Amino acid sequence: MEKISLQINYTRHTDVSELDQQERRLCEAAVAATESSYSPYSGFRVGAALQLETGEIVPGSNQENMAYPSGLCAERTALFAAGAQFPGRAVTTMAVTAKTDRFLIRQPVTSCGACLQVMAEFEKRQGSPIAVIFYCIGGEVIRLRSVRDLLPFAFNGEGLKG
């Protein structure tokens, strides 16, 4: 038996003012994306914004459905839109935030497992890391240099090869 430890490196910021101008702009785009959220059931509006290598920003928001599994998270909405509208362009950075009228969100909201897997495949497909910023509106920011930091054992398809 071999015992192995994993370490996750990330930066934590008091608020968005500690980020560079481009990353602040991306966080603002994620906040704006919450306005297009369709979340009548949970009341939890999630916004994502990703920046492409060419500078374009692609927003996404969660889209619920009364048959809950039929909805889609903000991260996947943004990534799939980028893949459809800008094929072949790499995603460099992604910002995610959330808000609700039901309670005060006190810390950054992180992505679900399904979103992390899609994010990991985008990284693999483009051959370069995607920096991830989780932003609590009016509060703390967590920044990671790669999706691999969040999902080190992402399914990578190697088992599908003959």
Comparing C-alpha atoms, which of 105, 112, 111 is closest to residue 144? 111
Question: Catalytic site residue 18?
Answer: no
> 73 to each of 7, 9, 22, 78, 107, how far by Cα in Å?
27, 25, 24, 9, 19
Comparing C-alpha atoms, which of 135, 112, 157 is closest to residue 27? 135
Q: Which of 23, 64, 75, 123 is catalytic?
A: 75
Beta-sheet pairing, 91-100 with 131-135: parallel
Beta strands per DSSP E along the chain: 11-13, 44-52, 57-61, 91-100, 131-135, 141-144
Overall size of the chain counted in residues? 162
Catalytic residues: 75
